[in-house]
Amino acid sequence: MEILKFLFPVSGVETYIFIPPLVAFAVSFFTSMGGVSGAFLLLPFQMSYLNYTSPSVSATNFVFNIVAIPSGVYRYIKEGRMAWPLTWVVIAGTLPGVFIGYYLRILYLPDPKAFKLFVGSVLFYIGVKLFYEIIPPLIKGGERGLRKEQMKALEDKFRQRAEELKKEQNARIASGLPKEAVVKTVSFTLSRVEYEFWGERFSFSTPAMFLLAFIVGIIGGTYGIGGGAIIAPFCVAVFHLPVYTVAGAALMGTFLTSIAGVALYSIMPATAGLSTSPDWMLGILFGIGGFAGMYLGARCQKFMPQKFIKLMLGAIILFLALKYIIQYFG
């Protein structure tokens, strides 16, 4: 087995050659269902398991996104579940934020211990938002109550369709969403975006989404995740958009901002003796596993209820968040 071990010269990581793609495949398969590339989980893995804690780990995470994401995006486009207006707003907001995030990472968070606290805080916020969306509102009525009812109606339609297809196909695995469940843009203006999905209409404020995407871009640029792990839960929990329509847009936004992130981390000179250039070989190995995992995850998303996807992501995220926060104060 020792012959399978490899030393990555840029990062100094020494591990079995099959570990990065295998871990990336497992992570990306599940996270891509929620519009998340999995980079937010791979970064803690690199820091804790591979002991890769220099600022260049953020750039390496961006490389993973670039290699892995296209397969998932392809599936969402092919199946008509790409909300293009949401995608463009997300991209427009996150791109400038990535540049600010780079300087925050290099100037204020070069220390691994402080960076882990930052990572833990971001993850904790994401996890809480996801669980908040799952828990039913204590008080009926109001906008949140109405949105909950709309999302519940979508879930009921999902379950009913799945049961019908199971009967039709003699108990074989049935698709949770029919072919006609595609995203159709109703209106796209500077003030508001509205689209239709499977007989239901959803809308959001364009300036509010842009502002959120800008802030997410800053955090994502600092963390090295592109922002999908943050924008997707916010779109679901704050803007009350169905995860079936958010996933593709979040992945596309993450892909393009990751290209900008890698370019920035690669061309900027070393600061305070710390290299920021990515470990391309390690990032590509992670990306190969992620490419396969995202393709299958995007294809299987329509089999999974929204609640399961949110619960799964929320549990993983909160576990890691608490681990890093406790580690900082320990």
Residue 169's pLDDT band (boundaries 50, 70, 90)?
Answer: very low
Residue 101: predicted pLDDT? 82
The three-state secondary structure class of 207 is: helix
Q: Output the six-digit token pair for 289.
A: 């596993």
The chain-wide mean pLDDT, for the chain, equals 79
Residue 98: predicted pLDDT? 83
pTM of the model: 0.74
> Strand 192-197's sheet: what is its strand order?
183-188, 192-197, 200-205
Q: CA angle, corner 219, sides to 94 and 210, nearest 5?
A: 30
Return the top range by mean pLDDT from 2-16, 24-38, 197-211. 197-211
- Using the predicted structure, report yes or no on whether residue 292 has a pLDDT greater than 90: yes
Residue 314: predicted pLDDT? 79
- Using the predicted structure, report yes or no on whether residue 182 has a pLDDT greater than 80: yes
Residue 147's pLDDT band (boundaries 50, 70, 90)?
Answer: low
Better-predicted residue by pLDDT, 25 or 168: 25
- Using the predicted structure, report yes or no on whether residue 243 has a pLDDT greater than 70: yes
Residue 282: predicted pLDDT? 94
Query: How far is the CA of 280 from the CAs of 54, 92, 243, 289, in angstroms?
Result: 15, 27, 32, 14
Query: How far is the CA of 115 from the CAs of 106, 107, 122, 141, 200, in angstroms?
Result: 10, 11, 11, 41, 42
Provide the 10 A C-beta neighbour count for residue 259: 16
- Using the predicted structure, report yes or no on whether residue 264 has a pLDDT greater than 90: no
Residue 142's pLDDT band (boundaries 50, 70, 90)?
Answer: very low
Range 33-53 average pLDDT = 82
Better-predicted residue by pLDDT, 192 or 271: 192
Residue 239: predicted pLDDT? 86
Residue 172's pLDDT band (boundaries 50, 70, 90)?
Answer: very low
Residue 145: predicted pLDDT? 52
Residue 270: predicted pLDDT? 56
Residue 135: predicted pLDDT? 66
Range 100-125 average pLDDT = 78
**How many C-alpha atoms does 286 have within 13 Å on its Cβ side?**
30
The DSSP code sequence of 66-82 is HHHHHHHHHHHHHTT--
Residue 2: predicted pLDDT? 57
pLDDT tens-place string over residues 67-93: 998 988 888 888 888 899 999 999 999
Residue 190's pLDDT band (boundaries 50, 70, 90)?
Answer: very high
